[in-house]
Structure 1
Amino acid sequence: MRLLLIADTHLPKRAKVLPSQLLDEVPRADVVVHAGDWVDTATLDLLQARARRLIGVYGNNDGPELRARLPEVAYAELAGLRFAVVHETGPAQGRERRCAARFPELDVLVFGHSHIPWDSTADDRLRLLNPGSPTDRRRQPYCTYMTAELAQGRLAGVELHRLPRGS
């Protein structure tokens, strides 16, 4: 099972459209995961129309329309792994400890908010993934997203993809 992980698209404020490289990944993914801060409903509509399966949450910059359509935390079992998606996890310092305590039943937590890619493991069990942002690099050298493969109850092949500047 192939996953496409994105967050913090902030359309149309940070970019007018999603990068074509990212859109090309959508039909290749079995599941598209968006960890909040969509900003516009058009992006949600676009991904719902193109993705085989979409799991998304709202973020702190998402208004009432998105909050009415999306949960604050989404849960799913994918290929035998227990996932959750949330926008905010708090400061980087202490993140693993906080998330392991908040989500003791999970195998993978996908989050956003910082626009900073993150891949770590808490308590030798909980994988924490932040794909960064495909449209707003902030203090990062590149805009980013992630892909991952799930097989036989394992998360493998997690890859951070850098988008060309100006894409």
Structure 2
Amino acid sequence: MELLLISDTHLPKRAKDLPAQVWDAVERADVVVHAGDWVDIATLDALESRAARLVACWGNNDGDELRARLPERADVTLAGVRFTVVHETGASSGRDARMSRTYPDTDVLVFGHSHIPWDTTSATGLRLLNPGSPTDRRSQPFGTYMTASVDGGALAEVTLHRIPRAT
């Protein structure tokens, strides 16, 4: 099972649309995971219509219309792997241990908010993934997103992708 992980798209405030590279990844993915901060409902509508399956939550910049359609926390089991999707996890210091206590029955936590890619595994085995942002790189050198696969009840091949800067 192929996954696309994105967050913090902030459309249309930060960009007019998702980069073509991300739309191509949407077409290839069995499941698209979005960890909040959509900002506009049109992005949700577009992903719902183009993704084979969407698992998503709302973020702190998402208004009432998005919050009415999305949960604050999304939980799903994909090919035997338990995922939780949230937007915010608090400070990076102590995050792994804190999230292990908060989500003891989760195998993979996908989150956003910071726009900073993150890929760690806690002492308890919880995998924490933040794909960054494909449209709002902030202090990062590139916009980013992640792809991953789930095979045999395990997460595999997590890859961070960079969005080339426009010249």
CA distance in 2, matches of 1:87, 1:166: 27
1:157 matched to 2:157:
yes
The unaligned stretches of length 5 or more in structure 1 are none
CA distance in 2, matches of 1:16, 1:77: 32
Q: Deviations over 1:36-60 (max 9, x none)?
A: 0000000000000000100010000
1:112 matched to 2:118:
no
CA distance in 1, matches of 2:40, 2:26: 18
1:1-167 aligned within 5 A: 1-166=1-166
**Aligned AA for 1:165?**
R
Q: Which moved more, 1:74-83 or 1:119-128?
A: 119-128
Q: Secondary structure at the match of 1:128?
A: strand
**Aligned AA for 2:24?**
D
CA distance in 1, matches of 2:166, 2:73: 32
TM (normalized to structure 1)?
0.98
CA distance in 1, matches of 2:138, 2:91: 16
Q: Secondary structure at the match of 2:22?
A: helix
Cα RMSD over matched residues? 0.9
| CA drift at 1:94 | 0.6
Q: Secondary structure at the match of 1:145?
A: strand
CA distance in 2, matches of 1:130, 1:83: 13
- Sequence identity of aligned pairs in percent? 68
TM (normalized to structure 2)?
0.98
What is the aligned residue count? 167
| CA drift at 1:128 | 0.1
CA distance in 2, matches of 1:49, 1:38: 15
| CA drift at 1:27 | 1.3
CA distance in 2, matches of 1:149, 1:124: 21
CA distance in 2, matches of 1:133, 1:105: 27
| CA drift at 1:62 | 0.2
